[in-house]
Structure 1
Amino acid sequence: MAVTARTAAAAHPSGPQVADTIRAAITGGDFAPHQRLVEAELSERFGASRASVRNALAQLATEGLVERIQNRGARVRAVSLDEAVEITEVRMALEGLCAAKAAEHVTEDDRAALLDLGARMKAAVASGDVLGYSDLNRRLHGRVLEMSGQQTARAVLERLHGQNVRRQFRLAMQPGRPQTSLPQHLAVIDAVCAGDPPAAEAAMRAHLRSVIEALPALENPH
């Protein structure tokens, strides 16, 4: 009987694994804001036990991705414009810090990787490859965070990214946005590669300030 129980447990993903899967589905756009998250449906979809799904939803609620409605279960939490601005303001402070740290720690390998990303971003904008540019944008920010060595900031930023990723993607798809953000990203790359922490922080903050200024247009496209 004990062997059977262990076998059954091994057949289902654990709570943390289920949380990772649902988190990826939310941030990837598979679930829309305010969409109900029904335990039975999620259990069947992801091959997980109801208990694992319940624990996963509780974890995602603490991360701000899911909200629980009394007597109605859970749903994907929608982020308001005001909250999106606040999140980006926090990003501005933390990613500015990380850009400065990255400039302090930059190596020749880092410089080569950043310059390659910059060249590929320019090529993507020139060819109109908006999706490719969006992916390179994400990779550039991730590389700067990795270079910074600031683990606490990275942990906070990962949680905030999950809450705001849908808006960030919509912003990246806005006509003309890549042409606006490209020189900002190149300024970050240049300052980090030059080993200039104040300039790197200023460039990252200027870029994210531009993001804040652009966010209202997502709410009122016309």
Structure 2
Amino acid sequence: MSSAPERSRSVSPAEGAADRIRAGILAGDFAPGQRLIESELCERYGCSRGAVRAALVDLEHEGLVERIANRGARVRAVGVEEAVAITEVRMVLEGLCAAKAAERVTEVQVAELRDIGRRMREAVAHGEVVVYSGLNTLLHDRLREIGRQPVASDLLANLLARNVRRQFKLALRPGRPQVSLPQHLAIIDAICARDPAAADRAAREHVADVIVAMREMDG
């Protein structure tokens, strides 16, 4: 699961407020369905009322927030069917990014990916679920960086943000690391072999299994 991309330019007050509120939502500081009260957000993040209001509009467009007439804004809850639909789109984009990474990976990056795979195996062997979850996020982030497909990366960041709580819940599900580890290793192997078709296929198969697990978790 990815954080918001860093900007090289200066940001407006509204963008700064959106970044802070988004980070709070992704970190679980606000629960699904929780009201987002402008005055409280201003005090919490040191932003003006106008910046917070504009930020909430931006976050509504991203699908993280919903605004209800006469009731203000709240964190948008994502149901299982919408989560599956989001993940189906993610499956295509993850496959594209993996294929691009296989085309563009350098020897230094091959060594880095192999090291991430080694650390993932060790985390599973020692039952370190949170460590494994962090390495999972690191791997997917690095694949997008190596693939250098900025449009796909931006779309994935938005999709992951909208589904981050469900993804985190799934990552901590007992037995999930043992299932996803060989899938991640297959992605790494295909990219390190510089085989775009195999990388695309491995990434899609991994995300397809995520969809199955989501349905089982909510079943």
User: What is the TM-score with the length of structure 2 in the denominator?
Assistant: 0.93
Match of 2:179 in 1: 180
Cα deviation 1:72-118 (Å, max 9, x = unaligned)? 00000011101110111111101101101100111101101100000
Task: Count how many residue pairs are aligned between Structure 1 and Structure 2.
Answer: 208
The superposition leaves residues 137-159 of structure 1 with CA deviations (integer Å, 9 ceiling, x where unpaired) of: 00101111111111100010011
- How far, CA to CA, are the matches of 1:101 and 1:56 in structure 2? 33
Residue 85 (structure 2) pairs with residue 74 (structure 1): no
1: CA distance between counterparts of 2:82 and 2:205?
A: 19
Paired residue for 1:159?
158
Question: How far has the Cα of 1:59 moved from its partner?
Answer: 0.6
Deviation at 1:219, TM superposition (A): 2.0
Say whether 1:64 aligns with 2:41: no
Structure-2 separation of matches of 1:114 and 1:22 = 32
Cα deviation for residue 217 of structure 1 reads 2.7
C-alpha distance in structure 2 between counterparts of 1:122 and 1:140, whole Å: 13
Instruction: Tell me by how many angstroms 1:48 deviates.
Output: 1.1
Aligned to 1:218: 217
Unmatched runs of 5 consecutive residues or more in structure 2: 1-11
Q: In the alignment, is residue 29 of structure 1 matched against residue 33 of structure 2? A: no
Aligned residue for 1:161, secondary structure, equals helix
What secondary structure sits across from 1:215 in the alignment? helix
Distance 1:84 1:151 in 2: 23
Larger RCO of the pair (alpha carbons < 8 Å, separation 6+): 2
For residue 73 of structure 2, give the secondary structure of its aligned residue in structure 1. Answer: strand
Structure 1 residue 216, shift from structure 2 partner: 1.7
2:201 is matched with 202
Q: Percent identity?
A: 60
**Structure 1 partner of 2:16:** 17
Q: Report the TM-score, using the length of structure 1 for normalisation.
A: 0.92
Alpha-carbon distance in structure 2 between the residues aligned to 1:58 and 1:18? 11
Corresponding residue number in structure 2 for 1:134: 133
AA of the residue aligned to 1:68: R
Kindly state the Cα deviation for residue 170 of structure 1 after the two structures are TM-superposed.
0.2
